[in-house]
Every structure is written in structure tokens, then in C-alpha cells.
Amino acid sequence: MIILPTKTLLSSLVVATLLTGCGDSKDTETVAEFAPVEGTIAQLHAALTAGTTSCEAVVQQYLDRIAAYDRTGPTLNSVIAVSDDALTYAREQDDALASGESMQPLQCVTVLLKDNIDTADMPTTAGGLALQYSQPEDDAYIVQRLREQGAIILGKANLDEFAFGYQGSSSVGGQVKNAYDQTKGPGGSSAGTGAAIAASFAMVGLGTDTGGSIRVPSSVEGLVGLRPSLRLVSQDGVVPLAHTQDTAGPMCRTVEDCALVMDALVGYDSASDSGQRNSYEYDASLVASAYEYQQVTGVPASYASGLSATALKGAHIGVVRALFGDGESEENQAVQAVLEAALAKMTAAGAVVEEVTIPNLDTILSTYKSVSRYEFCNDLTSYLSSWSNELDGHYTSFQEVADSLEYETRNQSTFTFYGSYCGDQSANTDYQLNLIERPIVVRGALMQALENLSEAGVSQGEPFDALVYPSILGLAPELGSTPTSGSNNRLSPFSGFPALTLPAGMADTDPALPVGIELLGREFDEQTLLNLAYGYEQVAQPRQAPTFTPAL
């Protein structure tokens, strides 16, 4: 492992014209070549098939970009570590393809993991110096799945320390900067993943989301970020913040790439800490087999193969105006303007876009809260004590980490606060309110809105395929600050329903900054969210690459 010290864009698909023949007669054919800036999985595989690049060359290109731009150049501080073995894995893949082996779904796809996801070949620090030598004994289940499908784990991404918040700073990696404007913050907590994938330091990334930690950085970095339904993706080998709300998910530059990553992430995990319960209730038993997992989740054979460029035609989309903000600030006005333009494009593409009300929304957002305060202390101890510290000497409890003071000074009060909730919380009425009542109420309200029912349960028209609203109410904040996110990001974790953020467009700022739009759907209906996002992406082409990290 290597610990990294502290407007001209190439098209991802370069077409080379080959001229053949004799005399004045010339035939032409096009051969796919791969360039890493904004490069997609499909384009990579086309180039590998054509023989115009190799996996080793591709991995080296991304390593070169990290070296050139992360701690030098714009100094994004987005990557904590790169793997010593990435180039070795790449050469092995080249040899396998040369020997006639078939292309795997994620062949040679470079992945950056938020550094709270376990790898057996690199420490998992959660951004805290207290865990800088913490070496898990095996890969997280989702990392194992990625590797099985041919992905190459390029390294670990910086994050807001211990996934606590949205500033995007850690004692291991420093302050992450926004790829579009280095005077701006990256959001969080999956800050490094967001900035790194936006700047094309890898093809795709993984983040984790307890409240909004995939979707907030995806919004300010112009990415597609999916918080899957709870229970769909295994939590095994992920440093917890709150086990009843946590989930990992993909962060990508295109919808198709996120769908391909989701194809790898889903699947039954027999581990005791998978979180794959057979019902949404917090105390439901874990599914006992791959068959039961499939019966509960209804995972399709492939999210990627189900994508349709015409998915918006005939779609019914519910606009939650109550989540758009008051329009008093210039930032919120800019966000609203971009979203209005996006809704107009959806309508032009054939979608039926209508306003919808989520019943008791104000009460939901004011009454209920994240359960991280009640779960982090106990969950961190459970995680750290899950393997022996005989070889790596890692701390094995929350209290040891808290007492070490080996983390950012700003988080001392956070550890004190979380430490006040260590031990048995079964008698804590507020915790029980959020464990038991909250999911029932929020799921009921969202389903009433999605099904387009009145308070009396009477149909008011065709059900909605998804609800839409701004991912956050503002733009990327000043560096060292947290974004004006609002409460929109709470609906997905409070219910367990999936939510997907994608670029709606760019705000009229200098430099231009991304604005995200969030789609929320029914439990385990990731396919619909991906389809709608893909349809919008094909119509609007909303993503623009940052200008500060061009091709080398």
C-alpha cells in the first residue's frame, strides 16, 4: 500500500480512422480507443476488445491522474491510499484476456472505495488516525463481489472522519476540495469518492449513506449517486455509523455505470452483520438463503440490461414542491431554476409531471431523527472487536478510539456526545420511537404519495413512478463548511426506500457548479429509478466535467 502525501476535455471515446487499400481506393473503419477522462465501462470494454488499450495501461493512467492532481495541481485530497497490487491485477487480467477468457461484467473497471469499507490488502481508517493501522482480515462482502466480476480496487477515498458529517475532512486525508471549484467544499461524508470520481481518478466509486452521505457529495460533484433500499446491499465489512440506517451504494459519472455496479453489489450474504432482514422491522430475522433474499427483494437479473433511453415516455413523476426551499437565497433560486428546466425537459420527453403532497411532511421532518447517536458507540465496538488485534494492534472499542484523541479536534465533542449513548438503549423512548414508529409512519406517507391516494385512501389518478425534489437546497459550500442541504435527504433513510441523485444541470455560476435532482421510489424498485435517470440523462446530457483536471 502507498499512502499518498499530504477547457479542454478529451472525449471518452476516441475514434481512430484506419486507411487501407491500394491506389486511390480507401476503405475506412473505426476502432474504439479509451481515454480516462469521463471514460465509461462500455467504452473501456470496447477498447479492450479492439486491442487498442490494455488493462495495465488503463490502471496506470488513473494512477497518473491521482499523482498529478490529488496532492499536487488542484490538490483535491480525495484519495487516502492506492493499492500496491492494482497493476499486478491488471497484468493478470491482460493475460487472461489474451488466453481467450471472456470479458467479465466489470473487467478492469477501476474502483475507489470510501475508506470505511474493508479491504484485506489495505487498512480501513474511516479517515481517523486512530484507525490508521487497522487492517481487516478480509474484504467486505461488496468488495468481494466487485472483484469477482473483474473490478480492480484502485484505492481508498477520503471522507468526513468516521462518516460524521458533510464537511469532508479527516485527520488521515485532510480537507477534500470540490473538483469544480477548489474554494468550495465537496459535501460528505463520501467526500473523497465524490471528488475523485468527478475528476476521473477512477471509473466508479463506492460511498456509504446513513443520512445523505452518498447523495449530498454526488449532488455537488455532478454525479449519479444511489442510496439503495435498506436490506438490499450487505453491510458486512463496512464501518458502521448506525446499523439500522447504513447502506453502501455506487457513485458514478453515468447511470449505466451505476447500474452495472449495482449488478455486482446485490446478492445474498450469510454474514451475521449483513443487515439483510426478511422485513423492514429493525428486529426482523435475517434472510436464511439466496432464495429467501430473492423472494424478499425481487432483484432483477440485471439492472443495466433493463435500462431504456425512452423510459421517460409515459412515466408519471410526482413533484414535491414542499421540498424545493423558500427561494429567498440566491443559491436556492439557482437550484430551483435548474430543476424547473429539468422538469420541462422531462415533460418534453413524454413524462407526465404533476405536483404531489407527502402527508404530514412537516411533522415527519420535525419529529423523527437519525438513530446514529444511539447506535454508533455500540456499533463501532462491535465492528472493531470482530477480528483479533494481535497482528495489527488496532483499537477494539469505541472507548479506546474516543480516548485516543487521534482524530480531528472538531470531532472531540462528537465523540463525547456519542459516548453518552453507549450501552443498552432499549429503555430509551426516543430511540424506540425512531426504531419502531418512524418507519411505519414515513413508509405509509411515502406510499400514499406514490400511489396518489387521498387521506381517505381514494385514488386521485395514476400512481407515480417516483417522487422528485432537489437533492440539496443549495450549491457547493465554502471550503470547510457544510452545504445547505435541508431535510430532503432524510426521507430515504427514514423509510428504507431507495433514492437516486443525478445531475439536473449546471448553475449559472463562475465556475459553473452542478445541481442535483433526487428521485425517490418504492422499496426495492431501484430499476425504475435507474430507468428514469437514464432516460433523463440521454435527453438532457446534464453532466459537465470539471475543467481543473483535464487529460494529462
| From 54, 83, 114, 492, the catalytic residue | 114
Cell of residue 295, nine digits:
423472494
The residue among 183, 159, 180 whose CA lies nearest residue 77 is 159
Residues of the chain short of pLDDT 50, as ranges, are 1-27
Cα-Cα-Cα-Cα dihedral sign, residues 73, 179, 248, 145? negative
| From 169, 171, 200, 213, the catalytic residue | 213
114 annotated active-site:
yes
Can you tell me the distance from the alpha carbon of 552 to that of 267, in angstroms, rounded to the nearest whole number? 38
Report the predicted TM-score, pTM, of the whole model to 2 decimal places: 0.94
The residue among 163, 141, 158 whose CA lies nearest residue 194 is 158
Give residue 278's identity as a one-letter amino acid code.
N
Q: Cis before residue 492, ω within 30 degrees of 0? A: no
189 annotated active-site:
yes
Cβ proximity of 280 and 494 under 8 Å: no
Cβ proximity of 324 and 468 under 8 Å: no
Instruction: Report the run of H or E that residue 86 belongs to, with start and end.
Output: helix 86-98
425: left (phi over 0), alpha (psi -120 to 50) or beta: alpha
| Those residues with Cβ within 8 angstroms of residue 101's Cβ, 6 or more apart along the chain or in another chain | none
Give residue 449's identity as a one-letter amino acid code.
A
Can you tell me the distance from the alpha carbon of 448 to that of 522, in angstroms, rounded to the nearest whole number? 11
Helix (H, G, I), strand (E, B) or coil at 460: coil
CA angle 224, 506, 63 (to 5 degrees): 50
Confidence at residue 29, expressed as pLDDT on a 0 to 100 scale: 62
The residue among 83, 144, 79 whose CA lies nearest residue 118 is 144
Q: Cis before residue 36, ω within 30 degrees of 0? A: no
Cell of residue 248, nine digits:
453502501
- Residue whose entry in the numeric block shows the C-alpha cell 488521515: 172
Can you tell me the distance from the alpha carbon of 517 to that of 470, in angstroms, rounded to the nearest whole number? 5
| From 189, 218, 274, 495, the catalytic residue | 189
DSSP-derived secondary structure letter, 433: I
Bridge partners of 459, per DSSP, are: 453
Can you tell me the distance from the alpha carbon of 174 to that of 5, in angstroms, rounded to the nearest whole number? 10
156 annotated active-site:
no
Sort strands 316-319 and 466-470 into parallel, antiparallel or unpaired. parallel
Cβ proximity of 483 and 509 under 8 Å: no
